[in-house]
Amino acid sequence: MSQLSRDQLGDAFNVLTDRVKEGMMAPLYQRMREGYEKELARDKAKEAMKPGNLAPEFTLKDLDGKNFDLSSLRGKYVVLDFWGSWCGWCIKGIPEMKKAYEKYKGKIEFVGIDCNDTEDKWKKAVAEHQLPWINVRNIGEPDVAVMYGVSGYPTKYVIDPEGKIAKQVVGEDPEFYMYLDALMK
């Protein structure tokens, strides 16, 4: 069976009868519909996530269950690191992130945003890898990874002191660290 394009999938949803949408196949329909809508939202967000645009505000829970607001870091450079304990490249990049954290402590705030993990796996990974920066978990709505157009992991954003996007890097790339070095000169 060939894969449907996003447009074809949207058209297919529109021609399904209520009997299909509400019947035995309702759970499958609902999951597919939610996934489709998330992808549309992610694509729309990607268009807005350009350097110079304001970074979307969010509130997520930290390791202690307390609210963390991105706006609390206004006036500082911020690195948002979208990652997960299940992501091999994310884990492989932790030593370099730790070096950058130590190098720029007090100049740049680092925020690890865990995605697609259980709470236990997230907390275990933070403890096991001794992640010293702010750690929050992306769960529920709004989905911050979707708001930021994240479709690959790790994805890192640098936010300037005015709350604007300065840089985005997808994957574990030395370019990210070179950018931080140039930024902090």
- How far is 110 from 89, CA to CA, in rounded Å? 18
Q: In this structure, is residue 147 part of a structural domain?
A: yes
> 157 and 90, same structural domain?
yes
Q: Is residue 70 part of a domain?
A: yes
Specify if 1 maps to a domain.
no
Average pLDDT for the chain: 89
Per-residue pLDDT, averaged over 4-28, amounts to 70
CA distances from 41 to 36, 111, 130 (A): 9, 23, 33
pLDDT tens per residue, range 123-136: 999 999 999 999 99
Question: Would you call 84 helix, strand, or coil by DSSP?
Answer: coil
Query: Is there a domain that residue 53 lies in?
Result: no
What pLDDT, on the 0 to 100 scale, is given for residue 1? 39
Residue 183 has pLDDT above 60, yes or no: yes
**Do 176 and 91 fall into the same domain?**
yes
Q: What CATH number is given to the structural domain containing 71?
A: 3.40.30.10
74 and 35 within one domain: no
* pLDDT attached to residue 9: 64
Based on the fold, state whether residues 68 and 140 are members of the same structural domain.
Answer: yes
**Overall domain count for the chain:** 2
More confident call, 140 vs 175 = 175
**Model pTM?**
0.81
Q: Do 80 and 105 share a structural domain?
A: yes
Looking at the fold, whether 14 and 75 belong to one and the same domain comes out as no
Over 70: is that where the pLDDT of 31 sits? yes
Q: Give a yes or no: residue 87 inside a domain.
A: yes
pLDDT band at 3 (very low <50, low <70, confident <90, very high): low
pLDDT tens sequence across 59-79: 999 999 999 999 999 999 999
Residue at 64 is within a domain:
yes
Same domain for 64 and 42: no
174 & 90 share domain: yes
Q: Clarify whether residues 89 and 163 are in a common domain.
A: yes
Question: What are the phi and psi torsion angles at 122 (to 5°)?
Answer: -60, -55
Q: Are 34 and 119 found together in one domain?
A: no
100-104: which pairs have CB atoms within 8 A and are 24 or more residues apart? Answer: 100/177, 100/180, 101/132, 101/133, 104/180, 104/184
The alpha helices in the chain, defined as continuous H runs, are: 6-15, 18-22, 26-48, 88-92, 94-103, 119-128, 144-147, 174-183
- Indicate if 142 and 79 belong to the same structural domain: yes
pLDDT in tens, 153-175: 999 999 999 999 999 999 988 99
Is pLDDT larger for residue 154 or for residue 46? 154
Q: Which domain holds residue 63?
A: 59-183
Residue 15's pLDDT is 67
Please report whether residue 149 resides in a domain: yes
Does residue 24 form part of some domain?
yes
77 and 116 co-located in one domain = yes
